[in-house]
């Protein structure tokens, strides 16, 4: 076992703000550090389990929440780096460690003696007199033990624990396979004709992507969304659009080491067995018990309210795109790789709006100031960048977050795509807010990770408006963690039900389109002139354009997710055939596509947080559209009283309040679905 002197992970983290020791840590440090963290955590739990005192909230539940500080901080650091800045050596360590981490966590929740003490507290007279937050903690911990196998029959426990460990290994391999397909593929642009239709900033981004891949002077389109989607939207080279589109949708389906098709089926089989050991018919039934929807039927009912009008409207929209195709002299029928290209042409014709006009007003640093400015107006926060700190990558930037003179948290902003970083955008924490420690209150360290195209050295990063919304979205998650003000780590920040966790993030997107925000921060990166009111109006007018296509992309993915996890058996099951047949049954429009096909659907198969739960974005969208209406009804998008309720009952509350109760406390009633359908242009506003 490594000694503290030899292993930086086991020494006191004397870095500024208690940051992880990024610069000193090497892949070989993790395994011995985790072994010591496992042992320390087990010793802390054994002290609870073997106590001779009568089980109480303080000596059992509070003690359980406090245990495992070393394990938690290592796990947070390790999980963040394997997603944000990995390498082959770290990936090998990851594959070896994740089953051990899963086994450690499983052993905790299968500990019969520990659960017995928790169960005593749950059914004790003391439980009836606890405060709301204390009661939430007790019920959450008890529920988690049950869901993680505490009541599994003794003869099935070894099998269940092996299942959990194997799932951890397979889901890690799934994620690594997708990253490999994304990192290995690039569309290299060499001739002048290869760049036809691309703006200067898109050409610069392609050159920067090539440099990132070790080919300075070249130009590449990658499978990062901020690279491939603009290419599919603007490139006049139909043959190259087809190549890029097929590469995008075929991730995880290539014969060889990165093929995810059989791997995903093995994950599905293990999940089905896991659900049955808990007494549920399917994994979907098991998963949704711990979500606001409660049942697959309730989730499907909401999705179908959007799917039916969206599919019909997309079929109607196709006529306009087809007319545009013919006007441009394309003899071949409209194909899936043509949709974004001709949608942009129709968009330009209807709204006189394109990215070349919009992007100069959305420079990344200015938009970071904008998202900070909104948080200042809503919640009284200030942000100050601190330079010269040792972080995990030069692109990562650190900000102190304060309210007045008080330090609220630390925010790390990491915005550019690179081959060592998984795709998509996400928020995560290096440390969660809690007051339940031996040394007192702990402030959070929160990271936002985006995948915007990095410009060449010395040039500004210009964003599409979709990029701006992504920036605001992830910062909404960040604020949910930064503003957390609860007693217990288990209830802190984003540790809420999965279909509620997207409310703070999706709601925050609304301020990205507020005129006062755009007028103040959206300034031309060269002239510094504010964005014209007429351009804001056109951006707003175009907001619902192509929403039917986007809704079809999303809802088809969510509906297929539910369907594949509602199966009872996966014998002789073909993942791709099932996906195709389910889309046919739903009536997928001919030119429609899933946002994420099953073989590369990281939300579902790189972990189980969103498995049978991809619907949660739309469930939360019902809440966020209705929530923003509260500000509109108050007559001010920064109304102080509404913002205070939002802060108190949503952003700072964590899981200390039951989600439906928290929303009612903020809004005064339950949410209505109509604002979401209007926002998507699926019913009349």
CB atoms within 10 A of CB 126: 18
**Which of the residues 126, 182, 212, 474 is marked catalytic?**
474
Residue 110 in contact with residue 157, Cβ under 8 Å?
yes
Q: Cβ–Cβ contacts within 10 Å for residue 55, how many?
A: 19
Task: Give the pairing of strands 382-386 and 397-403.
Answer: antiparallel
Distances (CA, A) of 371 to 364, 466, 473, 505, 532: 11, 14, 10, 12, 20
Strand ranges inside 437-523, DSSP E: 445-452
CA distance 372 to 374: 5
DSSP bridge pairs for 221: 187
Residue 378: strand, helix, or coil: helix
Of residues 226, 228, 208, 225, the one with CA closest to residue 217 = 208
Please report the beta strands in 16-98, taking only residues with DSSP state E, as ranges in sequence order. Answer: none
Q: Give the count of alpha carbons within 13 A of 357, CB side only.
A: 12
In angstroms, rounded to a whole number, what is the distance separating the alpha carbons of residues 372 and 476?
A: 11
Q: Is 474 a catalytic residue?
A: yes
- From 251, 280, 281, select the one nearest 264 (Cα to Cα): 251
Q: Which residues, in sequence order, are bridge partners of residue 386?
A: 398
Q: What is the DSSP letter of 328?
A: T
- Best CA proximity match to 417, nearest among 220, 216, 593, 254: 220
Q: Is the CB of residue 89 less than 8 Å from the CB of residue 27?
A: yes
d(CA 385, CA 45): 39
| Strand duo 445-452 + 406-416: pairing | parallel
CB 551 within 8 A of CB 310: yes
- Phi first, then psi: what are they for 446, rounded to 5°? -120, 140
CA distance 344 to 351: 10
Distant-in-sequence, close-in-space partners of 429: CB < 8 Å, separation ≥ 6:
76, 444, 445, 446, 447, 481, 493, 494
Distance CA 51, CA 118 (A): 12
The CA-based diameter of the chain, rounded to the nearest angstrom, is 83
Helix, strand, coil distribution of the chain in percent, nearest 5: 60, 5, 35
For residue 250, which of 661, 596, 603 has the smallest C-alpha distance? 596
Any alpha helices (H) in 328-420, and if so which ranges? Answer: 339-351, 355-358, 364-379
Cα of first residue to Cα of last residue in the chain, in angstroms, is 64
Residue 106 · residue 180 · CB < 8 Å:
no
Residue 256 to residues 6, 180, 259, 367, 410, Cα–Cα distance (Å): 40, 12, 6, 42, 42
Tell me the HSE value of 129 on the side-chain side, using a 13 A CA sphere. Answer: 5
Whether the Cβ atoms of residue 427 and residue 448 lie closer than 8 Å to each other: yes
Residue 529 is given by DSSP the state: P
- The answer to whether the CB of 471 falls within 8 A of the CB of 368 is yes
Q: Which residue numbers are catalytic?
A: 474
């Amino acid at each position: 076992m490594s000694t503290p002197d030899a292993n930086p992970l086991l020494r006191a983290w004397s870095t500024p703000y208690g940051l992880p020791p990024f610069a000193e840590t090497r892949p070989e440090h993790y395994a011995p550090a985790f072994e010591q963290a496992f042992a320390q955590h087990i010793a802390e739990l054994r002290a609870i389990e073997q106590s001779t005192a009568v089980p109480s909230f303080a000596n059992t539940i509070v003690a359980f929440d406090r245990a495992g500080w070393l394990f938690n901080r290592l796990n947070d650091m390790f999980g963040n780096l394997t997603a944000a800045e990995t390498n082959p050596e770290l990936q090998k360590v990851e594959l070896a460690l994740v089953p051990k981490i899963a086994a450690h966590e499983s052993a905790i929740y299968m500990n019969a003696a520990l659960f017995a003490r928790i169960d005593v507290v749950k059914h004790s007279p003391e439980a009836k007199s606890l405060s709301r937050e204390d009661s939430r903690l007790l019920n959450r911990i008890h529920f988690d033990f049950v869901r993680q196998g505490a009541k599994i029959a003794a003869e099935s426990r070894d099998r269940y624990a092996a299942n959990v460990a194997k799932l951890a290994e397979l889901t890690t391999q799934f994620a690594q396979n997708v990253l490999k397909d994304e990192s290995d593929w690039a569309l290299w642009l060499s001739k002048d004709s290869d760049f036809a239709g691309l703006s200067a900033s898109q050409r610069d981004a392609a050159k920067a992507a090539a440099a990132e891949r070790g080919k300075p002077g070249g130009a590449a389109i990658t499978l990062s969304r901020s690279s491939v989607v603009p290419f599919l939207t603007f490139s006049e080279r139909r043959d190259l659009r087809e190549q890029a589109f097929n590469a995008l949708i075929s991730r995880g389906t290539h014969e060889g080491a990165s093929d995810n098709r059989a791997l995903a089926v093995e994950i599905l089989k293990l999940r089905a067995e896991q659900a049955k050991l808990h007494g549920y018919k399917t994994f979907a039934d098991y998963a949704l018990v711990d979500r606001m929807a409660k049942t697959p039927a309730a989730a499907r009912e909401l999705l179908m309210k959007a799917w039916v009008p969206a599919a019909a409207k997309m079929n109607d929209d196709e006529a306009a795109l087809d007319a545009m195709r013919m006007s441009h002299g394309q003899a071949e029928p409209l194909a899936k790789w043509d949709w974004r290209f001709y949608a942009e042409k129709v968009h330009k014709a209807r709204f006189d709006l394109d990215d070349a006009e919009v992007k100069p007003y959305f420079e990344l640093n200015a938009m970071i100031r904008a998202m900070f400015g909104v948080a200042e107006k809503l919640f009284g926060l200030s942000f100050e960048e601190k330079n010269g700190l040792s972080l995990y990558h030069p692109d990562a930037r650190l900000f102190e977050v304060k309210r007045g003179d008080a330090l609220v948290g630390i925010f790390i902003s990491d915005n550019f795509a690179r081959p060592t970083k998984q795709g998509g955008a996400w928020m995560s924490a290096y440390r969660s807010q809690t007051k339940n420690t031996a040394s007192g209150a702990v402030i959070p360290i929160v990271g936002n990770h985006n995948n915007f195209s990095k410009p060449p050295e010395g040039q500004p990063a210009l964003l599409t408006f979709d990029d701006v919304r992504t920036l605001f979205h992830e910062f909404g998650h960040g604020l949910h963690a930064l503003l957390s003000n609860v007693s217990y780590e288990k209830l802190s920040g984003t540790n809420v039900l999965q279909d509620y966790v997207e409310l703070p993030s999706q709601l925050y997107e609304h301020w990205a389109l507020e005129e006062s925000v755009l007028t103040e921060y959206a300034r031309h990166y060269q002239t510094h002139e504010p964005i014209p009111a007429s351009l804001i109006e056109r951006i707003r007018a175009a907001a619902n354009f192509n929403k039917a296509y986007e809704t079809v992309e999303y809802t088809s993915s969510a509906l297929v997710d539910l369907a594949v996890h509602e199966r009872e058996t996966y014998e002789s099951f073909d993942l791709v055939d099932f996906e195709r047949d389910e889309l046919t049954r739903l009536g997928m429009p001919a030119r429609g596509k899933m946002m994420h096909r099953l073989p590369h659907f990281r939300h579902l198969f790189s972990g189980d947080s969103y498995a049978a739960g991809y619907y949660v974005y739309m469930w939360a969208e019902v809440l966020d559209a209705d929530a923003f209406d509260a500000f509109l009804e108050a007559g001010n998008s920064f109304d102080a009283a509404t913002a205070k309720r939002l802060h108190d009952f949503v952003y700072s509350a964590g899981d200390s309040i039951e989600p439906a109760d928290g929303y009612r406390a903020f809004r005064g009633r339950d949410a209505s679905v109509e604002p979401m359908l209007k926002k998507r242009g699926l019913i009349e506003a």
